[in-house]
Structure 1
Amino acid sequence: MDRTVRIQLQPNMEQAQALHETLAQFTVAYNHVCASGWQHGEKNGVKLHHATYYETKALCSGLVSDLLIQARVKATETLRSAFTWKAKKEAAYPKKVARAEKQGKPIPVFKPVRCPRSEQCAVRYNIHTYSLNWATQTIRVSTTQGKMSIPFTVPHFSEQYRGCKVATADLLSHNGKWWLHVVVEVPEPTVPQNETVVGIDLGLNRPAVTSQRRFLGSRHWKEIDRRRFRLRRKLQSKGSKSAKRHLKKMSRKQMLFHRDCDHVLSKRIVQHVPPGATIVLENLTNIREGVRHRKGEGQRKLHSWSFAQLYSFIAYKAQEQGIPVERIDPRHTSQTCSQCGYQARNNRRSQSVFHCRSCGYQLHADLNAAYNIRDKFCLAQDGRSVLSGSPSDGLSSQASA
């Protein structure tokens, strides 16, 4: 399995200048390939290479051929994503127009997807353009001034990856500091698998509830978000230059805060699952398209919910412990009784209370959903579908039994 180690470089003045020039020329090559591919509607890497290689070589004479190729590879990846997003937006716009006309609202303005462009594209290195020595803590990288040996430091939380085999690496600069994100290869853990299955219900009010009856996450996280939202609203209404600078700083702080919360939550989830067990989550892809929230706190929370990032954190932390992570269809997990299997929308009396209309079973709604997620996966392993049929199929009771 692959892991990314973020190491800090310690270049001198001359080396820092060479790194700046390398980063600038790599960005020029990347933007040139993106512009050419966007203009001609081309996303094939081989065709882009033949069409742009000699032009980028003339524009960025200081870069070795391998770095020019890596710039083209990164541009190709970006173009494929941009073309996919463009087609998706163009296909969705007529539906938005039809919905607005049906509701008597003004027709939304179409915002086209623009050509990808980067102000500072991270330089991608491979085994031909850099080498890393863990013993001496130096790295030798290709620059516009030739190859240079630069010392680096490893953070304490990444010491476990010291000495691992390295793959690619990305060079970037932030706030005057130079960082190298090195991809290392870590051996898979040998953990015997067992039949334990832990269902986890992720939500906005309760960040995570497990079928082990654990309610994870801190309540003060929501209050911090509310406080920052009130401050952001005041700054936006003010509109001064200092307010805009403050908003820019707040945006980064908010992103880092949410990332830290997801790291803490994913770590707690994995810590409470025995090695070799299976974690089951709901597949929340496209959840924002299927949910209709009125403007307000509910809509704001839904669109700022980083569930995809949380899933990726859980997946890689669980992989290190030998815990597989699976996803299931989330339909009806909140409406079905985990005791008798009766399905009805009004089973959920409130956000936190689940009270079955059929058998009278009552418990916390998110805990009931976690039970259903676990049971649904167990029955799917046996080849039976569950929680997606008629409201009274009673299949969930088989898993509870």
Structure 2
Amino acid sequence: MSMQRTIRVGLKPTPEQADALRETLRQHTECFNAVCAYGWQHQERNGVRLHHATYRALRERFPALPSQLVVAARERAREALRSAFGRARRGKKASQPRSRLCPIRYDARTYALRAAKGYVSLASVAGRLKVPFALDPHTQGILDQAVGFDSADMIHRKGRFWLHIVVTISDVEFQPSGDVVGVDMGLSRPAVCSHNRFFGKRRWKEIERRYFRLRRSLQRKGTRSAKRHLRKLAGKVNRFRRDCDHVLSRRIVDSVQPGTVIVVENLVDIRSRTKQRGRESRRRLHSWSFARLRSFLAYKAAAKGCKVVGVDPRHTSQMCSRCGHVHRRNRRSQSRFLCRACGFELNADLNAARNIARKYLASGATCAAGGPLSTGLACQPA
């Protein structure tokens, strides 16, 4: 089996190459906007009909742009139009897609990575360019494991060129060991596992509060320098949250053995299904990146030979992991769980993690050998 990963490569073009790449991006963006304008005006989202209606005119308008990049712009426009029409069909606000600088999606005919020689060959308005690139040790390790290369997106951001390359690497075969670990993801504690492990740092919440206070102060000022600072702060906050999700998912995967089934809750539409009291709780809920954390957890687990599955999240926080009694008042506070039936007391998040693991077991899952799976707990429920 194999899996796909995306690596980010920093390009180091010469001044002449940088000018050619910027002009290629500009013409590619013009093609994208032209196809979007035609599709929005004629309510057309079919790729073949969009191609027949716009290709010849765009080739005459931009003769230096390689034909394959014109096709790539049309394909991106088709995806944007389908998304916009879908939003309009669901009754949401939608407008004509338009981009200021649309990334270029290269394929095997328009780019070639020469990792041993330290450059990448890219199609442009100035012909093929051999652009040097730089790799960090982590990216180099993934590149060494790659068995194939797929598409690559070139992005120009803050004066720098980046190439996001989709690589195919060999996946570690999942051989079930019989261990099951439930993971309860939350706002107060980022992650708690059923094998009595708590993950996340207390200082993360304080850093988030400090960023929020700084953003609120800058928004009140409203000056040009404050707005410039806000743009920088937004990128910093996003990078901080992404790093926290990477650290959290890595520590969860490192805490289990190969062949373990990691069970998480299916938190789809949780923002609309739950009600939070207080402005801070609502703000933290809407900034909670649980979907990204699960995606990081999934690919890191697959690389180790583990598997991530989801279960229904209902009643995991209200059920007693010892006797199974369900009641809303079993959870006395955010961190205290006390069963009203049997008197069992435990940390509320740890109790929920054990319920998540046992809910997966109750669904009829068995190991490859046919025997029952284990939750990995030192103490089994009475």
> What do residues 367-398 of structure 1 show as CA deviations (whole Å, max 9, x unaligned)?
01100100001111359xxxxxxxxxxxxxxx
Three-state SS of the structure 2 residue aligned to 1:8 is: strand
After TM superposition, the structure 1 stretch with the greater mean CA deviation from structure 2, 24-33 or 39-48, is 39-48
Question: Which amino acid is the alignment partner of residue 265 of structure 1?
Answer: L
Query: What does residue 143 of structure 1 align with?
Result: 124
Q: Please say if 1:243 is aligned against 2:245.
A: no
Determine the structure 2 residue equivalent to 1:324: 307
> Partner of 1:327: helix, strand, or coil?
strand
- 5+ residue gaps, structure 2, are 367-379
Confirm or deny that 1:113 pairs with 2:94: yes
What is the CA–CA distance in structure 1 between the aligned matches of 2:58 and 2:329, rounded to whole Å? Answer: 62
In 2, distance between residues paired with 1:56 and 1:356?
A: 69
Mapped contact 2:149–2:166 kept (Cα < 8 A)? yes
- For normalisation by structure 1, the TM-score amounts to 0.87
- 1:297 Cα deviation from its structure 2 partner: 0.3
Contact 1:29 1:59 in 2 (8 A): no
TM-superposed deviation, 1:191: 4.7
Pair 1:161 & 2:163 matched: no
The ranges of structure 1 where at least 4 consecutive aligned residues each deviate by more than 4 angstroms after the TM superposition are: none
Return the structure number with greater relative CO, CA threshold 8 A, min gap 6. 2
What residue identity is the alignment partner of 1:36? Y
Q: How many angstroms does 1:89 deviate by?
A: 4.1
CA distance in 2 between partners of 1:255 and 1:89 (Å): 30
Q: CA deviation at 1:139?
A: 1.3
Give the match for residue 54 of structure 1. 56
Distance 1:212 1:264 in 2: 19
Corresponding residue for 1:24?
A: 26
Distance 1:329 1:41 in 2: 39
Q: What residue number does 1:174 align with? A: 157
CA contact (8 A) 1:26 1:60 kept: no
Structure 1: gaps (5+ residues): 91-111, 384-398
User: 1:336 corresponds to which residue?
Assistant: 319
Aligned to 1:7: 9
| Contact 1:375 1:400 survives alignment (8 Å) | no
Distance in 1 separating the partners of 2:278 and 2:227: 24
* Alpha-carbon distance between aligned partners in 2 of 1:59 and 1:328, rounded to the nearest angstrom: 53
The one-letter code matched in structure 1 to 2:257 is P
* CA pair 235-340 structure 1, distance change in 2 beyond 3 A: same
Structure 2: how far apart are the matches of 1:43 and 1:293? 40
| TM-score, normalising length: structure 2 | 0.92
The one-letter amino acid paired with 1:217 is: G
Secondary structure, counterpart of 1:83 in structure 2: helix
Tell me: CA distance 1:191–1:291, structure 2 relative to 1, closer, same or farther (3 Å): closer
| Distance across 1 between alignment mates of 2:73 and 2:120 | 21
Q: In structure 1, how many angstroms separate the alpha carbons of the residues matched to 2:174 and 2:315?
A: 33
Bigger shift: residues 314-323 or 174-183 = 174-183
What is the Cα deviation at residue 145 of structure 1?
0.9
Task: Report the residue type matching 2:98 in the other structure.
Answer: R
- Give the AA of the match of 1:86: A
Percent identity, aligned pairs only? 49
Counterpart in the other structure of 1:225: 208
Match of 2:76 in 1: 74
Instruction: Give yes or no for contact 2:190–2:200 (8 Å, CA) kept in 1.
Output: yes
Residue correspondence of structure 1 range 384-395 to structure 2 within 5 A: none
Which residue is equivalent to 2:287? 304
Q: Which residue of 2 aligns with 1:87?
A: 89
- The amino acid of 2:60's aligned partner reads A
Match of 2:179 among 196, 199, 218: 196
Q: Please, which moves more after superposition, 123-132 or 62-71?
A: 62-71
Measure how far apart 1:117 and its partner are. Answer: 1.5
Q: Which range moved further: 345-354 or 241-250?
A: 241-250
Q: Mark the CA change 1:274 to 1:55 in structure 2 (over 3 Å): closer, same or farther.
A: same
Moved more, 312-321 or 55-64: 55-64
On the 8 A contact 2:174/2:307 being kept in 1, the answer is no
Deviations 1:299-335 (A, max 9, x none): 1001111111111111111111111111111111111
| Count of residue pairs the alignment pairs up | 365
The answer to whether 1:350 aligns with 2:352 is no
CA distance in 2, matches of 1:303, 1:60: 43
How far residue 56 of structure 1 moved from its aligned partner, in angstroms, is 2.5
Which deviations, in whole Å up to 9, do the C-alpha atoms of 1:151-206 show, x marking residues without a partner? 22221111223353211111112222221111111011135221111100000000
Partner of 2:133: 152
Deviates more, 1:50-59 or 1:265-274: 50-59
The yes-or-no answer on 1:271 pairing with 2:262 is no
CA distance in 2, matches of 1:89, 1:290: 20
Please state whether the residue corresponding to 2:88 is helix, strand or coil: helix
Q: Give me the CA root mean square deviation.
A: 1.6
AA matched with 1:224: I
Q: Distance in 2 between matches of 1:400 and 1:55?
A: 71
